[in-house]
Amino acid sequence: MKPQIHLAGKWWPLQKEHLKAMEAACHEEWEFEAVQVLSEWWSSELKIASSTSGSTGTPKEIWHQKKSLVESALRTIGFFDLNEGTTASLVMPARFIGGKMMLIRAIVGGWRIRIERPSRLPALGVSCDFVAMTAAQAFALCKERPDVWSQLQMVLLGGSAVDRHVIQQMPEGPVVYESFGMTETISHFAVRQLKPSLEELFRCLEGFEVRSHSDGTLEVILPDGTSIKTNDIADVNSSTTFQWLGRRDDVINSGGIKIHPEQVEKALAAVIPFPFKAFGQPHPTLGTQLVLRVHVPAPPVDALQLETKWITWAKQNLPRHHAPKKVEWKELNQTASGKWMRP
């Protein structure tokens, strides 16, 4: 089956000769972004650029050989058994690697893919076999459109770590995976299942391996034998499995105690029913104190009771000195790709 794309209100053959007609039919910036990716893909250039999200600094361009993107697409297609004729939806910006790879997988795999407006609440009007989205989008979809969520067959979450409260609030329905990767690894190189069963370890896709660097960070060995040293702290279980613990550059030194905010978030997600982030804030005696910022437009009427409940729970269930010192009720910022940003 030849690949097809639903763009600007109609279905098109996903082929180079229809590119100009597709571009002429577009009206929205996000539609033009998809066409731009296709134009770059079908150009004579052997490399293609992707922009990082900027969640850890200034966004930058990363260049990859097109053949490497094809190999990446085939790994995903094979791992998830996404055969020819798979129906998919692109609900993320096409200019980032996650969105770009959805288009390339559709071309390589012979899929039917719908291009939807990137938004907090994805406009998924029909069931599909495979969709990739951010954890923030999944949270909104589960909360506001559980009927749409339950019709999906397989969901791949990426962009940032998936909070436990998001997993807990997922209605029954699709098989859900969390991806692990970065622009440098051409989107994900490892995944773990979240639903229907919850896996603690990420499993590498074929050709990738991992190891611990001397400083405790995760090192990724690419299929070509080269390696990338990350800023991620991980417990490497084997050459192809690992448990993610947090980011080295997010570690908070509070009174000499080193705290991984991601581990605090993972634990507190069991009792906090809102998106939130843990971060360090200057303190006159501790140097830095651990603070929670809860993503709400305004504090609830029972804010003080909730703060006391959460901090008490943390003191009882987390390692010593890992309980937050205070709670802020304030909206979190998001990157253009939908990641919640740590304050």
Which phi and psi angles does 100 have, rounded to 5°? -60, -45
Burial class (CB in 10 A: 0-12, 13-18, 19+), 242: buried
Higher per-residue pLDDT: 339 or 270: 270
The predicted pLDDT at position 33 comes to: 95
Element containing residue 12 per DSSP (H, E)? strand 10-13
DSSP string, 118-162: --SS----S--SEEEEEHHHHHHHHHH-HHHHTT-SEEEEESSPP
| Structural domain contains residue 180 | yes
The predicted pLDDT at position 36 comes to: 96
Burial class (CB in 10 A: 0-12, 13-18, 19+), 211: middle
CB neighbours (10 Å) of residue 201?
16
Helix/strand number for the chain, H first, E second: 9, 20
273 & 152 share domain: no
**Residue 16 reports pLDDT greater than 90:** yes
Strand partners, 191: 179, 203
Q: What is the CATH number of the domain that holds 74?
A: 3.40.50.12780
20 & 163 share domain: yes
Q: Check: CB of residue 69 under 8 Å from CB of residue 107.
A: no
DSSP 342: P
pLDDT band of 292, cuts 50, 70, 90:
very high
18 & 124 share domain: yes
Per-residue pLDDT tens digits for 189-208: 999 999 999 999 999 999 99
**Residue 57 reports pLDDT greater than 60:** no
The predicted pLDDT at position 62 comes to: 86
Residue at a domain's end among 164, 199, 234? 199
The highest-confidence range among 50-54, 172-176, 264-268, by mean pLDDT, is 172-176
35 & 154 share domain: yes
| Structural domain contains residue 191 | yes
Higher per-residue pLDDT: 43 or 51: 43
177 & 314 share domain: no
Mean pLDDT of the chain: 89
| Structural domain contains residue 211 | no
The predicted pLDDT at position 54 comes to: 53
Q: Nearest-5° angle of CA 329, CA 330, CA 335?
A: 140
The predicted pLDDT at position 192 comes to: 96
Residue at a domain's end among 199, 219, 243? 199
Strand 87-90 to 130-134 pairing: parallel
**Region label for 256, one of left (φ > 0), alpha (ψ between -120 and 50) or beta (otherwise):** left
| Structural domain contains residue 221 | no
In the predicted model, what is the mean pLDDT of residues 288-296?
90
Length of the chain: 343
Single-letter code of the amino acid located at 296: V
124 & 265 share domain: no
| Structural domain contains residue 152 | yes
In the predicted model, what is the mean pLDDT of residues 166-187?
89
The predicted pLDDT at position 286 comes to: 75
Give the three-class secondary structure for 198.
coil
Strand 287-294 to 276-283 pairing: antiparallel
Strand partners, 232: 247
Task: Identify which of 274, 284, 297, 296 has the alpha carbon closest to the alpha carbon of residue 325.
Answer: 284
CA distances from 284 to 235, 257, 281, 289, 291 (A): 34, 15, 10, 9, 14
163 & 270 share domain: no
141 & 79 share domain: yes
Higher per-residue pLDDT: 109 or 250: 109
The predicted pLDDT at position 172 comes to: 87
Task: Identify which of 162, 170, 238 has the alpha carbon closest to the alpha carbon of residue 204.
Answer: 238
The predicted pLDDT at position 196 comes to: 94
- What's the structural domain count of the chain? 2
Q: Is the dihedral of CA 55, 340, 216, 156 positive or negative?
A: negative
46 & 185 share domain: yes
| Structural domain contains residue 256 | yes
Strand 241-247 to 47-51 pairing: unpaired
Rounded Cα gap, residues 266 and 338, in angstroms: 19
195 & 260 share domain: no
Q: What is the CATH number of the domain that holds 266?
A: 3.30.300.30
190 & 317 share domain: no
The predicted pLDDT at position 59 comes to: 66
174 & 310 share domain: no
| Structural domain contains residue 189 | yes
| Structural domain contains residue 190 | yes
The predicted pLDDT at position 337 comes to: 55
Containing structural domain, residue 315 = 251-329
Lowest mean pLDDT among 68-72, 89-93, 266-270: 266-270
Residue at a domain's end among 199, 217, 232? 199
